[in-house]
Structure 1
Amino acid sequence: MADLAKILGENIKKARQAAKLTQEVLAEAISLDSRSISRIERGNALPSLSTLEAISITLNVGLGELFEGMTKSKSEIAQEIESLLATLPAQKQQGLLELVRSMVRIAK
């Protein structure tokens, strides 16, 4: 959660500053106190979905923008999967491969 909270907080802070709003003004606009905004921006707290939506609307940014930097590239994902699989015996790797194939067929 720490990484998620930090990145989200930094993105909210950047968007707030780009909108030229203080923490106090943002807090008042979304019915929070400025301490809560400060904690969110520092990554010490995660906002609720309704608060996140209110922040997005008030700052006139899409929710996706607030989550920028949290997704991994395809190569990063593949590398992480490979590292995780390498810790397992070959038989378990094969079983997981079959599971993933099934999941991909269902997802299409």
Structure 2
Amino acid sequence: MRTSEGAAGAVPALKALASPIRLQVLAWLKDPVAHFPAQVDGDLVEDGVCADFLRDKLDLAASTTSRHLSVLADAGFLVATRKKGWTFYRRDEARIAAFVEDLRGVL
């Protein structure tokens, strides 16, 4: 979203943030070491958290978890990385900061 797009440019990102579950995922991923156990195939900070760990913590079906993660990734708030057949998710801090700044400009 850019301020030149106006408030309408914020709608997809705001919809992504409209779910308490997705907000919880973003909160957990802000400090993944505090919220998830160590992983065998990826570093929690550098690679992100395995989708299976997120699914277990959310206690949701794999398809539901996948949908929540996809919405956040499509909005640019998460970066998905494939590694050894697994998908790892981490926050895109630059994108989140840009969104907050753009939103500040629109409001």
CA radius of gyration, larger in: 1
Higher helix share: 1
Higher strand share: 2
> TM (normalized to structure 1)?
0.31
> TM (normalized to structure 2)?
0.31
